C-alpha cells in the first residue's frame, strides 16, 4: 500500500476494528449501468407487491393460507418441487453468468450491493463527498455534526423500516399491512418480521457493507471455482502502468522509466471494498468497475489512452488471440447452458401438465364400517379437494373396484350430484360408500374413488385408492 | 485483515455462524413446513400448543436458527483441538 492511502481516519465500529471505507463517488459509463441496475432492482422490489392481479396481489407468498401466488400461477405445498427447481435454476444461472462475465452479479445485482449503494447515496446526500465525510468524522462533535449524523440515521432508519414493511408485504396483503402499521395496529409476528428485516437491512447496508462480501458471503468464496482464464475480470494493465510515476518524476522528460499509472490513488479511493486493484485480482473485488471509471477519467485528464484498468480476461492479458466468440463458447459455458435448458424445459413441461386439482382421501377413524337403516354395509371417508385452478369448479364422484357398491356425497341421496369448490380453495367433504349385505365382499379390499371436474373443456379425473372394510370375508 | 485484533475476529466468527445458520434454518423451515402444516402439528402435540400458521412458521424458523447456531458454535469451539496453540 502506498503511504498516502494510509491516512484514512479510523472509525472503530462495534463489529470490526477495521477502517470504515469511504468510497469516492465516480461517474462513468459503468457506473451509469450500475445506477440503472440499482434503480431498477430497488424499484422492482418496492413496487412489485403493489401490483394487483385480478382481485388479489399479483405476487403474494401467502403463508397463512399456504399458497404462493405468482401472477397467474398458484403454488401449493404439494408443488414444492417447482420451488426447488426454481432455486436450482437460479443457482445455475448464477454459475452461468459467473463463467461468462465474472462477478457481474456482485457488482450489479446482489442485494448487498444494491442496498449498500442506496445507503451510500443517502450518506453522500447528507454528509457530502468522500473528503467531507472524512472531515466530519474527524471533527469534534458540534451542532452541525450532530445534525448531519441524526439526519443520516433518520434517513437510514426510515428507509430500513420501509424495506422491512415491503418485505413482509410479500407475505401478507401489503395494503392492509401498511394500514395496520401506520395506525399502530400491527402486532405479533408481522411486526416482528418488519423490524427484523428492517434491522438486517440497516446493519448490512449501513454498517457491514463490504465486510458481508469479505467474511460472510459464500458466493465470494467459491466463485473462484467458476473462474477460468477466459472469465471477464476487472484488471490493471501492469505492463502499461508500471513503474508508477507521479509529480516531478513524471514531468522529468529525461526519465525513460515511467509507466502510465500516475499514482493518483483514485482507483483505491473509489473502491467500495477498499482494495488496490493494481495488486492483481483479489477475492474482495466485487467487479463493480468503479475503478475503471475512476481511472478512465484520470487518463482522459492527463491525456493518456483509457483502459489502464479495464474489463479483461486472464488469457487476454497473457496475449491470447482468441476472438470474443471463442472466449464465450467454451465447455464450461456450454455445460451450464445445457443443464439450465434441460431443467427449464422440465420445469415448464411439468408446470403445464400440472393438474388443476388435488384430492386427499382419509378414512373415518371412528369405525371400520357400520350398517345403514336399510342394512347396507357403509364406510365413510373424509375428502379434501384442492381446486388449484383460477375458476370455481364442480366435482362429481364415482367409484369402481367393488361389485354392487355405490359412492355418494354424504347427506345427498341421489348419485350424480356434484360438490363445488371455489378457485384456489380447499373444500372439505365426507362421502359414504354403501354395499348391499347380499353382495360378495372381503374383510378389507381396495376400491377406487373417482373425482371428476365438470366445468370447462379440459375436464380431468383423479383416481384415488381407498380401503373398504366389511365385517368378514363373504363369497357366495 | 492482517491487523485485525482478536475481539474483532471473534465477532466475525459469530457473524458467520449466525448468517450460515440463518440460511440453513431458512432451508430447513421451507422443507419442514412444506411437509407439515403448523396447525396440524399444534393439534397432535403432546402438550397444549395452539399455533396459528404465522406463529408456527416463525417459532419453527427461530428454533431451527437457534439450534443450528448453537450447534455451529459448539463445533467451532470443540474443533479447535486443546493442544493447538491458542490465539489469546
Ligand atoms: S460478494 Fe456476496 S454479498 Fe458481496 S456482492 Fe458478491 S454476492 Fe453479494
Ligand atoms: S477493485 Fe475496482 S472493480 Fe473491484 S471492487 Fe474495487 S473498485 Fe470495484
Residue A11 lies in a domain: no
Neighbouring C-beta atoms of residue A248, cutoff 10 Å: 8
Show the CA angle centred on residue A309, arms to residues A303 and A312, nearest 5°.
130
Asked if residues A208 and A14 have their Cβ atoms less than 8 Å apart, the reply is no
> Which three-class secondary structure string do you get for A328-347?
HCCHHHHHHHHHHHHHHHHH
Residue ending a domain, among A354, A372, A393, is A354
Work out the mean pLDDT of chain A and round it to a whole number. 85
pTM: 0.80
Taking only residues 66 to 85 of chain A, the set having a beta carbon closer than 8 angstroms to any beta carbon of chain B reads 66, 77, 80, 83
Q: How many structural domains comprise chain A?
A: 2
Residue B86 lies in a domain: no
* pLDDT value, residue B70: 96
Closest CB from A16, A189, A218 relative to B54: A189
Residue ending a domain, among A354, A381, A414, is A354
Ligand in nearest proximity to the CA of A103: 1
Q: Is the peptide bond before A243 cis (omega within 30 degrees of 0)?
A: yes
> Do residue A463 and residue A446 come from a single domain?
yes
Residue A1 lies in a domain: no
Closest CB from A17, A83, A215 relative to B16: A215
Which residue, chain included where needed, has cell 401472477? A71
d(CA A10, CA A140): 14
Q: Whose CA is nearest to atom 7 of ligand 1?
A: A106
Range of the domain at A464: 357-469
Helices (H) and strands (E) in chain B, counts: 3, 0
Residue B42 lies in a domain: yes
Residue B10 lies in a domain: yes
- When pLDDT is averaged across residues B29-53 and rounded to a whole number, the result is 84
CB spacing of A211 vs B1 below 8 angstroms:
no
Give yes or no for A17 touching B (CB within 8 A). yes
Residue B7 lies in a domain: yes
Give yes or no for A182 touching B (CB within 8 A). no
d(CA A468, CA A444): 6
Taking only the tens place, the pLDDT of each residue in A337-378 is: 999 999 999 999 988 888 888 898 988 777 888 888 888 899
Range of the domain at B18: 2-79
> Do residue A324 and residue A378 come from a single domain?
no
* pLDDT value, residue B6: 73
CB spacing of B16 vs A66 below 8 angstroms:
no
**How many CB pairs below 8 A link A and B?**
52
> Do residue A31 and residue A111 come from a single domain?
yes
> Do residue A331 and residue A366 come from a single domain?
no
> Do residue A158 and residue A207 come from a single domain?
yes
Residue B87 lies in a domain: no
Per the structure block, which three cell numbers stand in for A463? 383416481
Name the percent of chain B lying above pLDDT 70: 86
> Do residue A228 and residue A79 come from a single domain?
yes
Q: Is the CB of A114 under 6 A from ligand 1?
A: no
- H or E element at residue B18: helix B6-35
> Do residue A189 and residue A49 come from a single domain?
yes
d(CA A221, CA A75): 34
- When pLDDT is averaged across residues A43-50 and rounded to a whole number, the result is 94
Q: How far is the CA of B45 from the centre of ligand 2 (A)?
A: 54
Residue B72 lies in a domain: yes
> Do residue A92 and residue A150 come from a single domain?
yes
d(CA A218, CA A472): 63
The CA distance from B78 to the nearest CA of chain A, in Å, is 21
H-state helical runs in A213-313: 218-222, 238-241, 247-251, 266-270, 290-302
> Do residue A41 and residue A123 come from a single domain?
yes
Residue B17 lies in a domain: yes
Residue B64 lies in a domain: yes
What ipTM, to 2 d.p.? 0.83
Residue A214 lies in a domain: yes
For A468, which DSSP code? Answer: E
Asked if residues A447 and A476 have their Cβ atoms less than 8 Å apart, the reply is no
Q: How many structural domains comprise chain B?
A: 1
Name the percent of chain A lying above pLDDT 70: 92
Residue ending a domain, among A339, A354, A369, is A354
Amino acid at each position: 500500500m502506498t503511504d498516502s492511502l494510509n491516512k484514512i481516519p479510523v472509525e472503530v465500529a462495534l463489529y470490526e476494528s477495521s477502517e470504515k471505507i469511504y468510497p469516492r463517488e465516480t461517474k462513468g459509463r459503468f457506473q451509469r449501468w450500475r445506477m440503472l441496475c440499482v434503480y431498477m432492482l430497488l424499484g422492482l422490489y418496492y413496487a412489485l407487491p403493489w401490483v394487483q392481479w385480478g382481485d388479489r396481489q399479483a405476487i403474494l407468498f401467502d403463508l397463512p393460507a399456504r399458497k404462493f401466488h405468482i401472477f397467474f400461477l398458484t403454488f401449493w405445498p404439494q408443488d414444492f418441487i417447482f420451488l426447488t427447481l426454481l432455486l436450482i435454476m437460479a443457482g445455475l444461472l448464477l454459475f452461468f453468468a459467473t463463467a461468462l462475465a465474472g462477478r457481474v452479479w456482485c457488482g450489479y445485482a446482489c442485494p448487498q450491493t444494491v442496498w449498500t449503494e442506496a445507503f451510500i447515496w443517502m450518506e453522500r446526500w447528507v454528509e457530502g463527498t468522500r473528503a467531507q465525510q472524512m472531515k466530519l468524522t474527524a471533527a469534534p462533535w458540534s451542532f452541525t455534526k450532530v445534525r448531519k449524523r441524526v439526519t443520516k440515521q433518520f434517513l437510514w432508519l426510515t428507509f430500513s423500516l420501509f424495506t422491512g414493511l415491503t418485505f413482509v408485504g410479500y407475505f401478507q396483503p401489503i395494503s392492509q399491512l401498511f394500514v395496520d402499521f401506520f395506525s399502530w395496529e400491527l402486532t405479533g409476528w408481522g411486526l416482528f418480521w418488519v423490524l427484523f428485516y428492517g434491522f438486517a437491512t440497516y446493519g448490512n447496508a449501513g454498517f457491514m457493507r463490504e465486510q458481508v462480501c469479505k467474511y460472510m458471503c459464500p458466493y465470494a468464496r467459491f466463485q473462484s471455482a467458476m473462474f477460468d482464464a477466459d472469465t471477464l475480470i476487472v484488471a490493471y494493465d501492469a505492463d502499461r502502468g508500471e513503474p508508477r510515476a507521479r509529480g516531478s518524476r513524471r514531468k522529468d522528460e529525461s526519465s525513460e522509466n515511467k509507466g502510465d499509472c500516475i499514482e493518483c490513488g483514485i482507483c483505491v479511493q473509489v473502491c467500495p471494498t477498499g482494495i488496490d486493484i493494481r495488486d492483481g485480482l483479489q477475492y474482495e473485488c466485487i467487479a463493480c468497475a468503479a475503478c475503471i471509471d475512476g481511472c478512465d477519467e484520470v487518463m482522459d485528464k492527463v491525456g493518456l489512452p483509457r483502459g489502464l484498468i479495464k474489463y479483461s480476461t486472464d488469457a487476454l492479458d497473457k496475449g491470447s488471440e482468441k476472438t470474443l466468440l471463442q472466449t464465450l463458447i467454451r465447455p464450461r459455458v456450454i455445460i451450464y447452458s445445457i443443464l439450465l435448458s434441460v431443467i427449464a424445459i422440465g420445469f415448464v413441461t411439468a408446470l403445464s401438465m400440472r393438474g388443476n386439482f388435488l384430492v386427499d382421501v382419509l378414512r373415518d377413524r371412528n369405525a371400520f364400517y357400520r350398517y345403514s337403516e336399510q342394512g347396507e354395509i357403509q364406510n365413510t371417508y373424509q375428502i379434501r379437494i384442492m381446486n388449484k385452478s383460477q375458476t370455481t369448479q364442480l366435482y362429481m364422484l364415482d367409484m369402481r373396484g367393488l361389485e354392487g357398491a355405490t359412492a355418494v356425497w354424504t347427506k345427498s341421496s341421489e348419485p350424480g350430484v356434484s360438490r363445488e369448490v371455489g378457485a384456489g380453495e380447499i373444500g372439505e367433504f365426507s362421502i359414504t360408500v354403501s354395499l348391499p349385505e347380499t353382495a360378495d365382499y372381503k374383510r378389507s379390499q381396495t376400491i377406487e374413488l373417482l373425482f371428476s371436474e365438470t366445468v370447462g373443456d379440459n375436464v380431468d379425473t383423479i383416481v384415488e385408492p381407498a380401503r373398504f372394510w366389511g365385517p368378514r370375508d363373504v363369497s357366495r | 485483515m492482517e491487523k485485525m485484533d482478536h475481539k474483532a475476529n471473534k465477532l466475525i466468527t459469530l457473524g458467520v455462524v449466525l448468517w450460515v445458520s440463518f440460511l440453513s434454518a431458512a432451508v430447513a423451515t421451507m422443507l419442514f413446513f412444506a411437509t407439515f402444516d403448523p396447525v396440524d402439528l399444534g393439534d397432535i402435540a403432546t402438550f397444549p400448543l395452539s399455533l396459528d400458521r404465522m406463529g408456527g412458521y416463525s417459532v419453527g424458523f427461530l428454533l431451527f436458527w437457534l439450534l443450528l447456531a448453537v450447534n455451529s458454535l459448539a463445533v467451532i469451539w470443540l474443533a479447535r483441538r486443546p493442544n493447538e496453540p491458542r490465539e489469546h
